């Protein structure tokens, strides 16, 4: 079963379209044990309200891929959830392949990559590894921060058609062409979500970060066409992360 199918099944079973971004502020290296304990604690109390967990450098850097994060990924799986590595892969193909090999060896079910690097000797090896192992690739299409327009929003000349188009439109079309398992479009840009949804239809699901502290709203993103919400600080920085996750989940029931 593909990652796209597995996360849909998990979301239906959990009755949740929330992906928990397990992100925490910087801690000095000597507090490494505290970072692991905090991540484990949030996962333990929040897992009933989410369908997957996204991990990035907030945990990889202090804990290490195999020393700590692999243990967390195992706990994610034990709770019936999927694990996404937010590596934003963006290098030459040989390096991308090694990145994918290591993260998939650590147990991740999918990896996020940046289509700016292109296909040949770019993301092609990463897709090949993911397909061989039955894992998923999610592409960035339009990020959630304010400066996203400087890259993803720029106007380009389509290499195949010679027509002027937006970079994010090109990336959405590449997601279809390359067979991606999803694209990331910030919840802070609902118009972009709707436009990209019009390109992808039901073939490639949209993952939307930026709910809460960055100004995006869950209901607006879902109504615009998002399939999943990636939520971090709104939950992980809350005084009661479980209550925050439950409140968010309740707010999107029926949307």
**Any idea which residues carry the catalytic annotation?**
88
CA dist 197 and 53 (Å) reads 23
According to DSSP, residue 216 is labeled B
DSSP helix/strand/coil, 201: coil
Written as six digits, the tokens of 250 are 């309740």
CA atoms within 13 A on the CB side of 84: 31
Cross-strand bridge partners of residue 130: none
The tokens for 81 are 């959830």
Say if strands 155-157 and 164-166 run parallel, antiparallel, or are unpaired. antiparallel
Rounded to an integer, what is the distance from CA 171 to the centroid of its chain? Answer: 16
Question: Which secondary structure element, helix H or strand E, spans residue 164, and what is its range?
Answer: strand 164-166
């Amino acid at each position: 079963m593909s990652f796209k199918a597995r996360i849909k099944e998990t979301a239906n079973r959990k009755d949740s379209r929330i992906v928990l971004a397990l992100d925490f502020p910087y801690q000095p290296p000597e507090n490494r044990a505290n970072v692991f304990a905090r991540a484990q604690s949030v996962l333990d109390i929040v897992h009933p309200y989410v369908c997957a967990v996204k991990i990035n450098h907030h945990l990889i850097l202090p804990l290490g891929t195999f020393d700590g994060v692999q243990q967390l990924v195992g706990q994610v799986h034990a709770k019936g959830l999927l694990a996404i590595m937010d590596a934003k892969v963006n290098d030459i193909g040989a390096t991308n392949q090694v990145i994918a090999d290591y993260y998939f060896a650590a147990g991740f079910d999918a990896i996020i990559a940046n289509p700016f690097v292109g296909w040949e000797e770019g993301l092609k090896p990463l897709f090949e590894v993911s397909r061989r192992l039955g894992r998923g690739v999610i592409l960035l299409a339009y990020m959630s921060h304010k400066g996203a327009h400087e890259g993803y929003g720029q106007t380009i000349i389509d290499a195949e058609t010679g027509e002027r188009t937006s970079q994010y439109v090109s990336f959405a079309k590449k997601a279809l062409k390359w067979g991606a398992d999803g694209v990331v479009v910030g919840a802070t840009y609902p118009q972009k979500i709707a436009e990209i949804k019009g390109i992808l239809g039901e073939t490639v699901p949209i993952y939307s970060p930026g709910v809460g502290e960055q100004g995006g709203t869950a209901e607006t993103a879902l109504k615009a066409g998002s399939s999943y919400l990636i939520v971090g600080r709104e939950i992980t920085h809350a005084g009661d992360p479980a209550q925050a996750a439950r409140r968010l989940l309740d707010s999107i029931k029926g949307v």
